[in-house]
Structures are given as C-alpha cells and as structure tokens.
Structure 1
Amino acid sequence: MEGLLGGGGRARLFLAPPLLLALHLRLGSGACPCQDPALCSPITATRDFEVFIFDVGGKDWKFYNWTQITTVATFGKYDPDLMCYAHSKGSRVVLKGDVSVKAIVDPAVRKAWINQQVDLAKTQYMDGINIDIEQEVIQFSDEYYALTALVKETTEAFHKEIPGSQVTFDIAWTPECIDKRCYNYTGIADSCDFVFVMSYDEQSQVWTECIARANAPYNQTLAGYDRYICMGIDPKKLVMGIPWYGYDYTCLNLSKDHVCSILKIPFRGAPCSDAAGRQFPYKIIMDRVNSSLSGILWDEQQKAPYLEYKDSRGAFHQVWFDNPRSISLKAAYVKEHGLRGIGMWNSNCLDYSGGSVAQEQTEAMWNALTPN
C-alpha cells in the first residue's frame, strides 16, 4: 500500500532518522491538542465488527461516514485534529509501521524499532500500530522468523505500554507466496490482534495470458480467505480489505468481446503484471463514465465492473475497478463467514466535494461495506 494509491510494496520507509524522530516527539509532546483533554485518552473498547480504513492525508476525514469506522490507520502526515475527532467518535487511530526485514534479524534492532514506535504512539496519543511490510521473504529464512518475532514483540510491547491498544499486520490476498512474500501467516495472525488482508492488486503477478483483468476478482478473492481459514487462522482474525481504486490499461488490442491485450511488464518473476496499468481513485473513474465508449460494463465471471474509452491519441483503454455492486458481494462473504470486519485502501479515493452526484456515489460506497 504505497505511493499515491497502493499495493505492490515498491517503495519503503525504514527506521526514522534521529532528527525526524525528535521532530515527531516534539509534535506530540506537551499538552493534549484536543479541546477536551479526555479525547487524548486511548480508545480501549472493542466493537464486534471492525471497519478498518486507511487515511493518506488531507482533510477528507471530515466527510467520512464515522458511524461505521472503528480504526483509522494514518499513512499521511500526523494530524492531531484527526486524532481528536476520531476519538470523539470512539474510533482508534493507529500508526503506520514499516522496517527493513533484513535489519530486524538483529534482536537489538527489533527492540529499538519497537521502542521507537511505542514512544511515537504515546506522544501522538495514538491507539496502536498497523504494520505494513510488503517485502520479499524466503520461507524458513532468518527474515521469516524475525518478522514473526517482530509482530509478537510489537504486540506485547504495545499492549503493555498502552493498555487497550491494537496491533495489526497487512497480509497478501492469499498465503501462496504472492510477490515472493512467503510469510509465516499463521504465526503472524496468532501474534497480533488481527490481520488486514489486502484483497487488491491481485494482478501483481500474471502467469497466464497478458490481458487486463479485475483488480480483485470475486472468486479469486474469496478463495484467498478460504485458504487462510483452512490454514487454521480464526475468521475473527481476518479483516477483508477491498480497493476503492482501479486500474486503467492501454490496450495493445481490444477485441469485440472486450479482451484487452496489455504490455508485458514483469514483476517479481511473473512475465506480466498490473504495472502495465495506471492506478486511479474511484472518483476519477466515475468522472470518466459519461465520456466513455461503453458506460459501466459488468464481467459476470469476475463479478467486477469495467469501462472502455478511447484517448486523444486514438488508443483504446480498459478500466477495471470496484463499485458498490462488486463490494457488496464480497461484504456478504465477510458476514456469512464471520470475519472480523472489512476495510479499504484507501478512504481518500472518493469524491467528498459535496455535489449531489458525488454525494450519492460516496454514500453508496460507504454503505456497501456493511450491506443489510
């Protein structure tokens, strides 16, 4: 979940330099930034159903559906106003955690990193941490065991130092070494409060025909959860992540039956990948519907919407995304199988400008998370 929108683990943040850490400490130290000092107290209540969201900065949070949100993972700049407001709604606000898996093989480095995160959470009045590590790990390697230890030790430290705090970890859409991330998934799930399953960017490695496909195909997505549960992971430890963004692919050829051939761009061993496309938030994709050649189409096999258009140079494009129809189908699985909850990458992808059309589209996306 990196860059403008997400996915792929293509950029990394490691240990904060001392000067940067000192700046963070100053920002969060001293008097409580909230008008009501009680709002700086940690959120300790646990709700039955988790709606876990990622905020990447700005002030969109003022327009979120706060009747649903239980946790906000802050992947943008620290905003004390967001923390105060979320706490007023009974919602947790948690840090983003990332560190080099090679570095944490050293227990001393692990301990220093964990202490740094706990201190930062305390000084910013946060309620825990979401560990987002999407780096390559070889099964049964030193890094494999060190990563599991990091999750366990981070959870123990946060629970001790900030009672009621929450530690979560982001995992791939299926446990089968996606993007060479061969993690100890059962050990990690056991070691933290729950895991957030990144059920998107599922075309990061395409081993078959190089064509445009859904970002998160229905059957493929749900098969990933079936595999995690079959491994012995408690469904109450799984939060389903869904995408509020899509991929725009330039077609080398677009057939009459809507098959879009794409450039062969390899990724982590696979000959093709979604790197052939460009990520766009839902609000931008919706703006393109009226000028498209097709309007919104529906692929019944993948249970996903898409549209087609021609650009100014005459090239055909195919855009795959998720909308309330496709999200509701996946959300139904969450309830039917007793998962811990649902969430999205990322909450800033909707149009919060307040226009009637935008407002209707935005409300429908939020409501799709928890269908009746």
Structure 2
Amino acid sequence: MDTLPIILAVVLATTLAIGSISLLSGHKNVVNSAGQCPCSEAKFCERIKDTTRKEIFVFSLNAKQDNWKFYNWDKVTTVVMVGYFDIQLVCWAHKYGARAIIIGKVETSVLPNQTARSQWVQKQLDFVDKNYLDGINFDYERAILYNQTQLRNGYTDLVRETRQAFREKFPSSMISVDVAWSPAGIDSRYYDFVGLSEASDYFFVMAYDEQSQILGECIAYANSGLYRTMEGVNEYLEIGIPSDKLILGVPWYGYYYPCLTLTKADKCYLKKVPFRGVNCSDAAGRELNYYTIIQLLKNSTSGRIFEKSTMTPYFNYKNISSGIMHQIRYDDPQSLGYKYTFAIDEHLRGVGMWNTECVNYTSGKHDDVIAVKEMWGALPDYEK
C-alpha cells in the first residue's frame, strides 16, 4: 500500500533439497518441496470455498508469528500479506477458515501490453498454485490521467484476465482491487471503476489519506472523516458499483502534523507540500501507528478532543526537544465504530483495515493490551 513505506524483499530464485525460495513480484517465499503440504494437517492446505460471506479484510505488514497469531481469527476472513510471505500464515489462516492472499504488484509498463499482461498473470497463478493461496489483491495506486485511455483500459483488462485465469484453475479464488476513498479522480487516479468492479470480486475502498490533496485551507484535518467517507462510498454506489462489492477500509494509524501556527480555534496551519498538482497535502505530516498515538496522548497539551464535524478524535502535542506544537489526527475504536455501523447499514460487503501492525501485540503493557482488545473488538461480528 502506498500509504506507508514498504521495502519489499527481493530474493534470488534457488532450489534447495528441503524446499525452494522463489521470486515473484517482490514477495519473499519459502515453501516445502513441490507437492508436499507444509501445514501440520493436510486440510489446512485446502482453499476456502465460501465466496459470498461478509468480509473482515485485513492487511498484515511484515508480521511475524508473534504478531499474526494474536489477530482475532474469529473475525478475520481474509488476510493480505504485504512485503513478505509466510507459508505458515497460510496454514494458520486456513485453520480458522480465513483466506490468505498476496498483493499482485504490477508495473505501469505491463498494463498496455497484452503479452506482458499474460506473462504477469501466469507468474501470479504459478505462485498462488504452489503456495495454497486463495487469490490476490491489486494495490495499484499510480496516477492515470483522464486522457490515458490505453493505460486505463489496460488496467481493467489485467484485472479481468487475472480473474478469468484464476477462476478457471481455482473456482473459489477471490480477486480484489484497492481503490481511493472516492471515484472522483483522487490523486489523479481516473480509473475505469465500473469496468474494474465488473472484472473483480470486490473493491477495498481505502477510506483514509483523505487529505492527500488539500484544496481548501492548508490545515490539519481528519485522516478519515466519517462524512467524507460516506460521501465517497455513496459516489461509488451512484456510478453503479453494487454495495456487495464494496469493502470499507479504515485506518488504524493517524497523522502527526507540525503546526506553523496553532490558533486558539485549534487550526493547525501546515507547511505547503505539493502532491500531484495540489500545493498542500498530508505529506506535511507523518504517519503514526495507533500504539504510538496512545502514548503521545498521555502528554498532550489538550487532551483527546472528539471533533463532531468529522466524528474523529485529535489532540495537540508540544514536542519538547523542538518546542514545536503538533496536531495528531487519528481514529480510535469510537470513531471506527461509526464507520463500521455505516458499512453495516449500507449492506456493504464488509470492512477491513490498514494495517494489523498498528497495535502492539507483544509488549505486555496495559495500554497496548487494551488497545489490541478494543481495536479488534470494534470490528463487526459477521457470521463466518
């Protein structure tokens, strides 16, 4: 996901007596010898068959077993491995009836070239086949301008060709596409959203980084405001995307903004940092995981403030070493709960988050233990 810095491991393809290490689209993969199920029980190598259930769709970022074993597997239906691949996580997910998938990393040069697309699809298919995976997720977030028809059509064709090839070999496999919080050309992404919807199983609507292009005052604002999120989802519905094809993705992280000026009305004016043709953006700040945010909150100058205009919390914080005032904009179980309720009321396919590693599973500190329990607990209780 482009929202956070991700270093994808690149490994030389080598065949070993006890297994193999193969390279595919930036994913590091370690598997047992061909044809041998690496799981403790053979049934955990079987792919998930249910293609109609509601989704709790989560992105796992370079996690180790000490983390992913503590996810709430009573809720998770799909886990996406980002920046890594762990065959034991595939086994673990299947043990709890959840899909395990990877991101299908694709370069722009592949999109308009039919031969390159076919080769790309075959590589993904081979990787998924060898590793008992349940599908792939497209996280292409590059700009495609409105007049770049060849690229736009090429992306739709790639998703369609991928799904066709996967369904032929694995009828229950699922192909998902990550899309911006609104279809209105966010960050110059003028994709063929209707075509992509028809070509895939569902969209993961990234209802965060909603300040990637700030068109009004250059001030800190909610990363995932409830009403803007609702507006974006409704725009997808209005262009004909079925509600059952939309998964509402929410952030388990926030932004730490240095204020040029912090007014008495709590307006935090930002340094202008351009992004894709707009002079002000959330790049003026930096992302913080939820577990870091709750520690900073203890030393805030304002305490937690719940902003009713966005239905999200924030607080002000003075950096002792620099003396600079900051404003931290984030989501917590309360604000996320409002978005989850909206997803349920609109009969969306489900919800999900970026990302599971924004809480601390292993510190043992009281605050972290509570945060893990409350953040996972706020997710809907869909029947699995």
Question: What TM bracket, shorter-length normalisation?
Answer: over 0.9
**What is the one-letter code of the residue matched to 1:322?**
D
**What is the one-letter code of the residue matched to 1:351?**
N
CA displacement at 1:101 relative to structure 2: 2.3
Equivalence for 2:367: 357
152-161 vs 38-47, greater mean Cα deviation:
38-47
Equivalent positions of 1:308-319 (< 5 A) are 308-312=316-320, 313-319=322-328
Indicate conservation of the 8 Å contact 1:47/1:70, yes or no. Answer: no
Equivalence for 1:43: 48
Give % identity: 38
**What is the one-letter code of the residue matched to 1:85?**
W
CA displacement at 1:371 relative to structure 2: 6.9
Alpha-carbon distance between aligned partners in 2 of 1:165 and 1:348, rounded to the nearest angstrom: 26
Q: Secondary structure at the match of 2:315?
A: strand
**What is the one-letter code of the residue matched to 1:335?**
I
Equivalence for 1:334: 343
Equivalence for 1:134: 141
Equivalence for 2:312: 304
CA displacement at 1:357 relative to structure 2: 2.8
2:246 is equivalent to residue 238 of structure 1: yes
Q: Secondary structure at the match of 1:54?
A: strand
Give the CA RMSD over aligned residues.
2.1
Alpha-carbon distance between aligned partners in 1 of 2:371 and 2:199, rounded to the nearest angstrom: 38
Alpha-carbon distance between aligned partners in 2 of 1:110 and 1:336, rounded to the nearest angstrom: 38
Alignment partner of 2:101 out of 52, 75, 94 = 94
Alpha-carbon distance between aligned partners in 2 of 1:62 and 1:11, rounded to the nearest angstrom: 22
Alpha-carbon distance between aligned partners in 2 of 1:304 and 1:244, rounded to the nearest angstrom: 12
TM-score, structure 2 normalization: 0.91
* Residue 84 to residue 168, structure 1, CA distance change in 2 (3 Å): same
CA displacement at 1:47 relative to structure 2: 5.1
Alpha-carbon distance between aligned partners in 2 of 1:330 and 1:238, rounded to the nearest angstrom: 13
Alignment partner of 1:56 out of 37, 61, 80 = 61
Equivalence for 1:193: 201
Alpha-carbon distance between aligned partners in 1 of 2:261 and 2:168, rounded to the nearest angstrom: 57
**What is the one-letter code of the residue matched to 1:136?**
A
CA displacement at 1:328 relative to structure 2: 0.6
Alpha-carbon distance between aligned partners in 2 of 1:325 and 1:243, rounded to the nearest angstrom: 13
Consecutive unaligned residues of structure 1, counting only runs of 5 or more, are none
Indicate conservation of the 8 Å contact 1:95/1:128, yes or no. Answer: yes
Indicate conservation of the 8 Å contact 1:41/1:125, yes or no. Answer: yes
Equivalence for 1:323: 332
Equivalence for 2:379: 369
Equivalent positions of 1:72-111 (< 5 A) are 72-111=79-118
2:283 is equivalent to residue 275 of structure 1: yes
CA displacement at 1:255 relative to structure 2: 0.8
Alpha-carbon distance between aligned partners in 2 of 1:299 and 1:132, rounded to the nearest angstrom: 31
TM-score, structure 1 normalization: 0.94
Alignment partner of 1:214 out of 222, 228, 238 = 222
Please identify runs of 4+ aligned residues in structure 1 that moved more than 3 A.
10-13, 16-23
Query: What are the superposed Cα offsets for residues 225-248 of structure 1, whole Å, 9 maximum, x if unpaired?
Result: 100000011000000000000000
Q: Secondary structure at the match of 1:130?
A: strand
* Residue 228 to residue 104, structure 1, CA distance change in 2 (3 Å): same
Q: Secondary structure at the match of 1:73?
A: strand
Equivalence for 2:26: none
Alpha-carbon distance between aligned partners in 2 of 1:304 and 1:254, rounded to the nearest angstrom: 19
Alpha-carbon distance between aligned partners in 2 of 1:232 and 1:103, rounded to the nearest angstrom: 28
**What is the one-letter code of the residue matched to 1:93?**
A
* Residue 329 to residue 319, structure 1, CA distance change in 2 (3 Å): same
CA displacement at 1:116 relative to structure 2: 0.3
